[in-house]
């Protein structure tokens, strides 16, 4: 496939690219059965994005209220991030692995400046699941213990270690045996964590808000009580902020809502600036020193690369400078109110609306209805998705800088979709 650059496509070119793209996707990538409507599939071939809008190959525009499951906190192709990454691409795309890379050092400094408490030492990697893997290894290394406590319906990734602490059996069971000594307790129940503590517990791993679990917001005393329990028992507290970090919940980090400092903080998604994949885990000097005996106990060929570090440094800068956390809190509160009004208007369809900042879940009465509403919104050119661990929940996760009029269109489209389904 030869792709034209810097000019509009003819209709014939659009059709050819769409057809070949769908055929190649089905032949070499798709893990699900082919759909029967090949012509309809062609409209799903994405081509460009800007801000809170993406376009398919034919130029049809969709409001992105899914945001790549939290990647596009700054929107698509934020011009400052793209410019910075292009400049670095011309200078040095990847690092030598031998000399000091000042770009990654700068990204680490910026992250340390905004991280909670004394968290300052960062290991950069490529994804959220890698961040969790590193955090689990570091917890065992520092505490010299084996066990972990996680929560039911949690999601921490799908590589072997992170999958071991992911609280949905349907994902774990085909790959058993995974890590042993992992306990799962109900999310939001601090007493259950206290009860699950053992002498060999190395760490507790939690999401500030369960995203894939259905956008579950814990009680306000939950994180402080868990922090106290971990401290009292000499157990590390790992905050999985892969989805909630960098402003998503209306605070720069989800744990900031409860003034809690974890021992290890995992990031990814928004850390990429929406341009280059990037993940990280950050901890204290004392805990990070566990790696000093042999720094090669944990390493990554592409971790610390200057392209990703450039995107991360710029993403942190823009998020803080533009006060996107505060904007997320303001827009999220207003959107929650409007969606709850729709719940009162369509009680047959919507069971509950909940969330923090611009991480919002709309729980439908059943899974089939959730899937139908998601499809109807797609037809109305609004992109949302269901929560992986609770499919009846429609997840709304738009860019933090989304124009307010696009949120108006989201609400109007959802209202019309529900009215049409009940007509």
Do both 274 and 345 map to the same domain? no
**Domain annotation covers residue 332:** yes
Do both 414 and 296 map to the same domain? no
Give residue 33's pLDDT: 64
**Domain annotation covers residue 353:** yes
Q: What is the CATH number of the domain that holds 387?
A: 3.90.1150.10
Do both 224 and 99 map to the same domain? yes
Give residue 42's pLDDT: 82
Specify the number of domains making up the chain. Answer: 2
Do both 191 and 315 map to the same domain? yes
Among residues 321, 344, 359, which one ends one of the domains? Answer: 321
**Domain annotation covers residue 97:** yes
CB 184 within 8 A of CB 192: no
Among residues 286, 321, 356, which one ends one of the domains? Answer: 321
Do both 260 and 402 map to the same domain? no
Give residue 378's pLDDT: 94
Give residue 262's pLDDT: 98
**What range defines the domain where residue 403 resides?**
45-65+324-421
Do both 332 and 398 map to the same domain? yes
**Domain annotation covers residue 163:** yes
pTM of the predicted model as reported, rounded to 2 decimal places: 0.95
Do both 159 and 101 map to the same domain? yes
Blockwise average pLDDT, block size 10, the chain, 423 residues: 68 88 85 66 88 94 95 97 97 91 96 97 97 98 98 96 96 94 97 97 98 96 98 98 98 98 98 97 97 90 94 98 98 98 97 98 94 94 89 95 97 96 80
Give residue 3's pLDDT: 60
**Domain annotation covers residue 36:** no
pLDDT one-digit tens code per residue, 3-49: 665 568 888 888 888 888 888 888 888 766 666 666 778 888 889 99
**Domain annotation covers residue 169:** yes
Backbone angles phi, psi at 371, to 5 degrees: -65, -40
Do both 315 and 386 map to the same domain? no
Among residues 256, 286, 321, which one ends one of the domains? Answer: 321
Do both 245 and 210 map to the same domain? yes
Give residue 86's pLDDT: 97
Strand 147-151 relative to strand 201-206: parallel, antiparallel, unpaired?
A: parallel
Give residue 390's pLDDT: 87
């Amino acid at each position: 496939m030869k792709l034209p650059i810097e000019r509009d496509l003819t209709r014939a070119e659009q059709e050819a690219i769409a057809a070949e793209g769908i055929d190649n996707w089905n032949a070499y990538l798709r893990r699900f059965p082919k759909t029967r409507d090949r012509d309809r599939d062609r409209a799903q071939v994405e081509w460009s994005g800007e801000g809170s809008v993406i376009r398919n190959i034919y130029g049809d525009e969709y409001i992105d209220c899914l945001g790549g499951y939290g990647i596009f906190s700054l929107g698509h192709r934020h011009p400052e991030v793209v410019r910075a990454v292009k400049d670095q691409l011309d200078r040095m795309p990847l690092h030598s692995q031998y000399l000091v890379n000042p770009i990654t050092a700068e990204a680490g400094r910026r992250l340390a400046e905004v991280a909670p408490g004394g968290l300052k030492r960062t290991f950069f990697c490529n994804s959220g699941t890698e961040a969790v893997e590193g955090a689990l290894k570091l917890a065992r290394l520092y505490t010299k213990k084996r066990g972990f406590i996680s929560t039911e319906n949690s999601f921490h990734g799908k590589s072997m270690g992170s999958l071991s602490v992911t609280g949905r059996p349907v994902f774990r069971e085909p790959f058993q045996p995974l890590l042993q000594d992992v306990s799962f307790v109900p999310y939001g129940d601090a007493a259950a964590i206290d009860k699950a503590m053992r002498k060999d517990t190395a760490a507790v791993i939690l999401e500030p808000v369960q995203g894939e679990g259905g956008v579950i917001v814990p009680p306000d005393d939950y994180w402080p009580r868990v922090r106290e329990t971990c401290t009292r028992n000499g157990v590390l507290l790992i905050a999985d902020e892969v989805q909630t970090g960098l402003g998503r919940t209306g605070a720069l980090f989800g744990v900031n809502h409860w003034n809690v400092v974890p021992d290890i903080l995992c990031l990814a998604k928004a850390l990429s600036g929406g341009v280059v994949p990037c993940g990280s885990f950050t901890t204290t000097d004392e805990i990070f020193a566990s790696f000093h005996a042999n720094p090669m106990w944990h390493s990554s060929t592409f971790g610390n690369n200057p392209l990703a570090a450039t995107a991360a440094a710029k993403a942190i800068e823009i998020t803080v400078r533009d006060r996107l956390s505060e904007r997320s809190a303001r827009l999220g509160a207003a959107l929650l109110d409007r969606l709850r009004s729709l719940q009162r208007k369509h009680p047959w369809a919507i069971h509950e609306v909940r969330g923090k900042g611009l991480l919002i879940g709309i729980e439908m009465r059943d899974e089939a209805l959730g899937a139908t509403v998601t499809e109807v919104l797609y037809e109305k050119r609004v992109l949302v998705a269901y929560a992986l661990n609770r499919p009846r929940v429609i997840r709304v996760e738009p860019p933090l800088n989304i124009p307010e009029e696009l949120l108006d269109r989201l609400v109007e489209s959802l209202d019309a979709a529900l009215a049409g389904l009940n007509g």
